[in-house]
Structures are given as C-alpha cells and as structure tokens.
Structure 1
Amino acid sequence: MNLLVVLDALLDERHISRAANRLAMTQPAVSHALNRLRELIGDPLLVRVGNEMRLTAKAATLIGPLTEALSHVRKVVMSGPFEPVNCQRTFRLGMSDYGSAVVLPRLLQCVRVEAPGVNLVVSQSSRLEMLRQVAESELDGGIGVFPLLPEELESDLLFQERFVLVTDRRNLTPPTGLSLSDYLAAPHIHVSTQAMHHSHVDNALTARGLKRRIAVLVPHFTVAAELLVGTDLLLTIAARAINIEKISPNLVVLEPPFAIPNFDFVSIWRAGADRNLELAWLRSSIRAIGL
C-alpha cells in the first residue's frame, strides 16, 4: 500500500523531488520506491526526456485505476471527509500578472481562512507553455485565456471580460472621446508575454479590414496604464486590469470606438483532477470566488 501511495504521487507530480515534498519523504526514499515499483510492474514508469520526466504508456494506463483504488481505500480508513484546515500541501498555479491582480487577492483570503497550512507558488509563462505545464503536471492548474484546450485538460469559466480604452486626457479632441479614425492614426501600447501576435483587439480590427500601429510592446498589464501619462499612446486593455480608483488622474477610461468581442477568462486543470480531494477543493475554491 505504501508503494501505491508513492506511485500515485509520482504519476501526478512526474517529478521525484516534488513527489517527495508532497509525501513528506526524502528524495532518496522516493527514488528507492520508484526502483521497487519498476521491478514489480516491469516498466520504467517515468523516463527522462530532455530536462523533463515523462510517463511511459504503461504508467499512463495506471492513473485511472490507481486513483480509483486509493479513493476507495481512503474512504475506508478516513474518519471523516476531507478538511481543508488539515491540508498541508504546496499548490503550483500559472497565471499572468493580470490573473494575479484579479484572482489572487480573493483566492488568498479564502486559502488563509480555510486552509492556513496550504502554500501557493505562482509562475508566469506563455499561453502554450502554461498548457504544457498543466498537462504534464508541472503546474497543478492555470488561470488565463485559453480558447483551445488539448483533450487532457478541462476548464472552468471564471468570468467574461470586456475591453476598455485608456489614454492621457490631453489626447482627447474633442474631449468626449476618440473616433475610429483617431484610434487608427494613434500609436498604441500593447501587453503580451509573447512576441508580436494578433490579440482579440487586432482580430476585431482585421475582421473590418483595419490595422493599428503598435509602438510599444510590454509584458505586464499592471504597469501598462501608467506608461501612458504624458504620451500620445493609446492602450486597449481588459477592463479588470484597470483600477479606476488608483490610476493617474491624467488618464481617462473610454469605450473603444469599435466593437471588440468579450473573452472568457478560465481556470484549467488536468482531466480527472477532481479525483484528488485536495485539487478538487482548490478548483472549487477558485470557481467560487465570484469575480
């Protein structure tokens, strides 16, 4: 039974050190258990590919039956249901600074009250990299915009977001707003963690046969608005990225002069993550934030 518990952690974490931390075991002890499992099952289970450990085909087929079997065992031996207050685990989540600004404050309030023994490690990477990290268990979950998901991932809708336009007040002539021709003639600042690529805004313009000039590309949502002060730049950005109460009084927030479709902001998880009671709790906590 002890070996099965180690196997469950290894299949989920796909990393010996992380599995050791999760099980409160030493790394050599987990490595020894993995060697015994390889002998018993007759398969390498985890193989190194470059800098990563990946599951063999045999190991992948064990995930479902093993999770189900351990779930039944836990129901037999546990004196009560899962209690977040007793959870001692480090969760790894991927999100941009926008996600951190919008989701993390309420999530931390929940975690500190319900599960004070839980640790959170937040990282940021590109959309494709985050999908890979969640699919390969390097991250427990991710939060962001993911229009297309591979089959091994699931998502929960957190909210729908709209776009607003931000600029220095001195750029408004007349002071009531900007026309579409003004918008297209102006230089723009764009936020992206990747190289230049078509965003929701650019896709909406392209659909109308239009194009804007991106003069400045930055990777952080939380600083983008302040960069506008004293410039002729325009910023078209997700509405929740702008804190109206804290931005400079020199800036003005407007509706864009053309229609931009809203987008879904979601959390993503490996399929079957809910079979793990700790992950199921974290997932439901994020889903219940009510943004």
Structure 2
Amino acid sequence: MSFNKLDLNLLRVFDAVMEERSVLRASQRMCLSPTAVSHALARLRELLDDELFIRTTTGMRPTARSLAMAPLIREAWKSLKAAVDTPTFVPRESTRRFTIAVSDFVTTVMVPNLLALLRREAPLVDLVIRPASWIDIAEQMDLGQIDAAIGIFSDVPVRFRASSLFAYDDVLIASSSGQLDELSVETFSDLSIAVVSLHGEHEGIVDGFVSERGLARRSEMFDRAALERIFSLSSRSPRVAVSLPHFLALPTLLEDTDLAAIVPRPLAKLLVRRHPISMYELPYQTASEEVSVLWPERNGDNAPQDWLRGVLTRAAEPLRCCSGSVRASSFVHRSRTA
C-alpha cells in the first residue's frame, strides 16, 4: 500500500470507531451515516489487509494491529489539530469535559475542593470521574480516554509524567461507642481490623503494588510491611478480619462493632467530623505515601491539560497543609473533631 494514495479521512473513521467501539456511535460523532462508516472501514481493511475490528455482542473489538495503530493515529491527529487550531483556552468560557481516574479515597478528600474551584473558575467545564481500581490506567491514557490519574505510582514509564500532590501516613479508626484506650502493640494485637486493597487478591500484587503495561500503582491502601514488621517477633498479631476493595463502606461497617480500620490520615480526619468515629495513632510508624497526578507525556504542552493539572494541584493544597505525620506519644482522638 502506498501512503500517498491513502485517504486520511479513513483514519478519522478508524479513530472514531476505536474510541467508541461502535459503528453507530462513531457515525453519530462524525455526522455520517452508519453505512458510510462501514464503507470507510471496509476500504481501510482492504488497504491494510487486516480486519481491524471484529464485531461482538459487546461492541467492536479491535485487533492487535488496531491496538498498535491507535495511539500513533491519535497522536497524529492531535498534532494536525494543534497545527491548524488557535492554541487558546479560556477556562471560564470552556465547555470541555475532562476525565480523571481516582480512588474513592481521593474522591472523598480532594474532589469537593476541585468542584469548588471549577464552580468559581470554569463553571461550564464538566468532569468525569472513573474508578482507578477498575480500569487499566496505562491503556486508557495511551488511548487518550482519560486526561489524568491520581494515585500512588512507581516505575512510571517514560511516556508518562507525574507530579506530587500530597502525602499521608496511616492511622486507626473505630466506632466512638467502643472503649479503646491508648494503643500499645499489645492492645493493638487483640483487635480485629479492616483494610482496603483496591484490587482484592490480585495475583500481580508485589509489595502492595499492581503493575499494568509498565506502570506500577499502589493497590494495598495500608502499610502492610510496617504492620508485619512490628509483629514479626510476636506470638500475637491483629486479625485482618475484613479486606475491602474501597473505603466507602467503612463508616457503616464500624458502627456499633468491635471492628477497627487502618486508613489514610486525611480520610480519617474527614470521617471523624461526619460520623460517630474516633481516630487513634497506630503504635508503630508507617511510611509516608505520596499521592501524585499522572498524565501522558504527549500532553505536556497542551493548554487545557496544563490548566487541569494546575487546578488539581490547587485542589490538593488543603491536604498538603495538613498531610504531615503529626504523631505524639500515646496521642488519641476520642472526640469527633479532627
């Protein structure tokens, strides 16, 4: 096939079907008839000698060739668009929709600040939040389907960039109706606790991280290594009675029970203010975890994306001010004020 003979409009159709995984939705997006989209796909299949998409009951499934082509074509279209578009972005007038991937922890402690900023500075901008634990973040970024992700990352591939937002350590929370006294290692060892692992018993979890397409992100939302280290020489250790894929259910699970939970300090402070829950310092030191915003490197010089990262950073400012590990010997929160 000669590239000079290729109709570039066929690649526009390919890109739309790749993102929508549906001929009908792609046709609506491009203001074409479904028949025109099908004919364009047929021409491109013939030119490339590949099926490109296989029709299934759940939509159009891309072939290996399509998956390899998609990010390159997407990047090419963005470059062409940038070459002819006027590079302006006015947040107050913009009607853009941004998609971010976050956990329920980050949604609870940071997104309210983000929405307040959007209301003041970009009231027409829409926000789509996807659960970070349910999607392959690296793949979604490669395909251009999410703009940014917030979490704890390591082994970040060169095609991505990351910037720190805030840090936190672990604390313990329990129902205020309980009778927990100062937590020593001995008293802590008698507890039944709940922990959060975003991906459950995923086989690929190593040292609390799950790796997908070269990107490692934290799955176990507590410092397991510190917990195991403090009890490595003890005959007793706390029972991990419940392992959850999210934090959402914790206030209900802790209510009027003897169950306690290890959670990030910023979340504990918020829950203490809103629920009959008390916060306690753990009887051992946990690591300070750094929460970062992650984005594709190709978006580095994109005005709307630059603005999004800036507003995310500002939304995290209250958490940075209060994220230090302020630990005091035998310190206990018994009230509902943080």
TM-score bracket for the superposition, by shorter chain length: 0.7 to 0.9
AA partner of residue 169 (structure 2): R
1:50-77 superposed Cα distances (whole Å, 9 cap, x missing partner) = 8654745455445555534432322xxx
Q: Distance in 2 between matches of 1:183 and 1:28?
A: 65
Structure 2 counterparts to residues 9-28 of structure 1, below 5 A:
10=15, 14-15=19-20, 25-26=30-31, 28=33
Helix, strand or coil: the match of 2:100?
A: strand
* Offset at residue 16 of structure 1 (A): 6.0
Aligned to 1:213: 239
Aligned to 1:247: 275
Instruction: Please identify, of 121-130 and 110-119, the stretch whose mean Cα deviation from structure 2 is larger.
Output: 121-130
Q: Distance in 2 between matches of 1:277 and 1:68?
A: 14
* Offset at residue 128 of structure 1 (A): 6.5
1:197-242 superposed Cα distances (whole Å, 9 cap, x missing partner) = 7533212123445354211233332441442232222211001112
Aligned to 1:171: 179
* Residues 163, 239 of structure 1: 8 Å contact kept: yes
Q: Distance in 2 between matches of 1:85 and 1:113?
A: 8
Structure 2 counterparts to residues 25-44 of structure 1, below 5 A:
25-26=30-31, 28=33, 32=37, 35=40, 43=48
Aligned to 1:280: 306
1:76-120 superposed Cα distances (whole Å, 9 cap, x missing partner) = xx3x73212332232222222111112211211222333233222
* Offset at residue 261 of structure 1 (A): 0.3
Q: Distance in 1 between matches of 2:94 and 2:50?
A: 28
Aligned to 1:121: 128
Aligned to 1:84: 91
- Long gaps (5+) in structure 2: 1-7, 203-207, 209-219, 320-338
CA RMSD of aligned residues (A): 4.0
* Residues 167, 253 of structure 1: 8 Å contact kept: yes
Q: Does 1:264 align with 2:290?
A: yes
Identify, as 1 or 2, the structure richer in helix. Answer: 1
Q: 1:184 to 1:59 in 2, by over 3 A?
A: same
Aligned to 1:186: 191
- Could you tell me the TM-score, scaled by structure 1's length? 0.76
Instruction: Please identify, of 259-268 and 191-200, the stretch whose mean Cα deviation from structure 2 is larger.
Output: 191-200
* Residues 155, 267 of structure 1: 8 Å contact kept: yes
* Residues 16, 31 of structure 1: 8 Å contact kept: no
Q: 1:67 to 1:139 in 2, by over 3 A?
A: closer
Helix, strand or coil: the match of 2:110?
A: helix
- Long gaps (5+) in structure 1: none
Q: 1:117 to 1:126 in 2, by over 3 A?
A: same
Q: Distance in 2 between matches of 1:9 and 1:115?
A: 32
**Alignment identity in percent?**
23
* Residues 167, 252 of structure 1: 8 Å contact kept: yes
- Could you tell me the TM-score, scaled by structure 2's length? 0.67
Q: Distance in 2 between matches of 1:8 and 1:286?
A: 33
Q: 1:129 to 1:71 in 2, by over 3 A?
A: closer
